[in-house]
Structure 1
Amino acid sequence: MGQALGFYQVDQSNVAIKEHFGKFDDVLEPGCHCLPWFFGYKIAGGLSLRVQQLNVKCETKTKDNVFVTVVASVQYRAVAEKASDAFYRLTNTRGQIQSYVFDVIRASVPKLELDSVFEQKNDIAKSVENELEKAMSTYGYEIVQTLIIDIEPDVNVKKAMNEINAAARMRLAANEKAEADKILQIKKAEGEAESKYLSGLGIARQRQAIVDGLRDSVLAFSSNVPGTSAKDIMDMVLVTQYFDTMKEIGASSKSSSVFIPHGPGVVRDVAAQIRDGLLQGNASQN
């Protein structure tokens, strides 16, 4: 109805292309415009100035012959000052952008190995953006941003990469576990060595205390009982300790000790053996 009456409305963030007898005449900005169609004026079409997004999926291969699918997201918009170029010079804007994206990606990715593609995706996006900016600016379009939003290798390649990563992590875990076991064994050996050292030190001190006690007993007995020799006193002390030990063994209900040979006649031999053992132990400590 508006066009029939010679008026035309252009919405916000849009422009309209005005023609006079089929020839470009003007770019109409948002608002209401007088359009006397009976003088040969008409609206050839409209153009949005909003930012638009195009996702381009491109399959290519890397330097190490791995096929990947790269998804690039291109954000673009028409420039109001070049609206006539954007309207007349391109038939399929999205197809043109897609062609340039394919060209840049298929020229950049084959120069890189797979790992480098992931690491340098920002550089690839910048290359696509620069190429699009140079090409599309002549057609009245501005490239706002270009992003590489996905890099998808072949399924078998992804599986192999995951297996390699898992094997590397398992190898690292095994090394760490072996190192931990090594530390535990070293600490355990150090603990056993320290324990044996302290045990030997305790035994040495015990034997020294026994020898000191026996010496004091012999000296005290010799001073109180004149005419007795040190050997007689030692035999008596050792025999007394022997019978005390036999008493303790016999008082235990769970004792399974057996002395062979045994009898009153061999007590002196037992005493000699005990005395010799204590004297040898004392000599080794000194």
Structure 2
Amino acid sequence: MGCFYSVPNDQVFVVEKCGRDDRIAHPGLLCIPVPGVWAVGGKLSTRVMQLDVEVETKTMDNVFVKLHVSIQYVVQLDKVFEAHYRLQDRDDQIRSYVFDTVRSAVPRQNLDETFESKDDIAKAIKEDLKPIMDNFGYTIVQALVTDVNPDQRVKNAMNEINASKQHRAATQEKAEAEKLLIVKRAQADAEAKYLQGQGIARQRAAIVEGLRESVTDFSHSFAGMEPKDVLDLVLITQYFDTLKELGVQSGKQTIFIPHNPGSLASLAEEIRGGVISNTTDSSRHRLSHEMRNKELI
């Protein structure tokens, strides 16, 4: 009487006859006709399996790191006999090659390069494992370096270095912003001074034109007045106008250079005397002319 087995959908059975491999039983119903002659010699999963390996090694800059490597592999359905009979422990076999590949690649790199070359290390592991495991009936689906874990003290030092770099970068950016602000302020101040200079130039031109007209009109009104005398009088008037303006303004700081108003007073007195003398001479001349006319009559 035979025996019946149910082969799961994710497995294959190795059927042996008299201790030798006979055939592969695929998912479904399996009938063993004569127990003792035929038997199930092994069961293999057809699912993609994963083996996690932790490898500790040292980088070129003498930092001990632990690399976490994940190997994904699957049985080749056309090489089930090789997968079942040729390897006693597939996980140990895979683990040995992972150790060999990692420990030959990482010591040639420093810590930063190890972090940057995780994909290259994983690619090297896959390329080394694929032809070897293919001979044993397994296909390497993927090799991944999931983590590079240095010593905790090294981590702390790296964090401090990164924090220092970030602080330096932030300080530099702040300095650049302040520099730009100062430059913009200087440009604005220069532009303001330029416009102010244009305004002052126009103001002075208008003042000069006004003074010219004042001197001309005053000279015509008072006979015998020299243009210099008229100009001195105008300057005295402007001087007192300036003093008045400084007294009226509030909240402004103005440096007033020490002066000698006595000299201005003397100048004003001379001008006043000149004006009066000129007026008196004109009156005497007019009176003498009138008396001469009367004598002739």
Q: Aligning the two structures, in what range does the TM-score lie when normalised by the shorter sequence?
A: 0.7 to 0.9
Partners of 1:157 and 1:12 in 2: CA distance:
49
Aligned match of 2:204 in 186, 204, 207?
Answer: 207
Match of 2:138? 141
8 Å Cα contact 1:97/1:132 also seen in 2: yes
Match of 1:75 in 2: 72
* Distance change in 2, residues 1:238/1:266 (3 Å): closer
Letter in 1 for 2:227: A
8 A Cα contact 2:72 2:142, kept in partner:
yes
Aligned-partner Cα distance in 2 for 1:105–1:248: 89
**SS state at 1:50 partner:** coil
Q: Distance in 2 between matches of 1:190 and 1:253?
A: 30
Give the match for residue 13 of structure 1: 10
| TM superposition shift of 1:245 | 6.2
Q: 3-state DSSP class of the match of 1:90?
A: coil
Shift of 1:197: 4.0
Is 1:130 equivalent to 2:127 in the alignment? Answer: yes
Q: Which residue of 2 aligns with 1:219?
A: 216
Q: Is residue 23 from structure 1 mapped to residue 20 from structure 2 by the alignment?
A: yes
Whether 2:165 is the aligned partner of 1:168: answer yes
SS in 2 for 1:195: helix
Q: 1:248, CA displacement in angstroms? A: 6.8
Question: Which residue of the partner structure matches residue 41 of structure 1?
Answer: 38
**Structure 2 counterpart SS, 1:228:** coil
Query: Partner letter of residue 4 of structure 2?
Result: F
Q: Which shows bigger deviation, 200-209 or 163-172?
A: 200-209
* Mapped partners of 2:62, 2:44: distance in 1: 43
Q: 1:270 to 1:186 in 2, by over 3 A?
A: farther
Corresponding residue of 1:57: 54
Asked whether the equivalents of residues 52 and 70 of structure 2 are also in contact (C-alpha less than 8 Å), the reply is: yes
Q: What is the identity percentage for the equivalent residue pairs of Structure 1 and Structure 2?
A: 47
How far the C-alpha of 1:249 sits from its partner, in A, is 7.4
Q: 1:51 deviation in Å?
A: 0.8
Structure 2 residue aligned with 1:267: 265
Give the RMSD, CA atoms, in angstroms.
3.3
Aligned residue for 2:174, secondary structure, equals helix
Letter in 1 for 2:138: Y
Asked whether the 8 Å contact 2:236–2:264 carries over to 1, the reply is no
Which ranges of structure 2 fall in alignment gaps of 5 or more residues? Answer: 271-297
SS in 2 for 1:174: helix
SS of 1:81's partner is helix
* 3-state SS in 1 of match to 2:159: helix
Q: What SS does structure 2 have at the residue aligned with 1:183?
A: helix
Q: Check the 8 A contact 2:2/2:35 in 1, yes or no.
A: no
Q: Which residue of 2 is the match for residue 158 of structure 1? A: 155
Give ranges in structure 1 of 5+ residues lacking alignment: 273-286
> Relative to 1, partners in 2 of residues 1:26 and 1:238: Cα closer, same or farther, differing over 3 Å?
closer
How far apart in 1 are the matches of 2:104 and 2:249? 95
Work out the CA distance in 1 between the residues paired with 2:52 and 2:183. 60
Distance in structure 2 (CA, Å) of the matches to 1:260 and 1:74: 97
**Counterpart in 2 of 1:96?**
93
Q: 172, 180, 184: which one pairs with 1:183?
A: 180
Q: Secondary structure at the match of 2:143?
A: strand
Aligned length: 266
* Cα separation, 2, equivalents of 1:194 and 1:6: 103
Alpha carbons of structure 1 residues 225 and 128: separation in structure 2 relative to 1, 3 Å: same
Q: 1:269 to 1:228 in 2, by over 3 A?
A: closer
SS of match in other structure, 1:27: strand
Deviations 1:155-175 (A, max 9, x none): 111222222222223223333
**Partner residue in 1 for 2:295:** none
User: How big is the shift at 1:21?
Assistant: 2.8
- TM-score scaled to structure 1, two decimals? 0.78
**Using a 3 Å threshold, how does the CA distance of structure 1 residues 270 and 202 change in structure 2: closer, same or farther?**
farther
SS at match of 1:189: helix
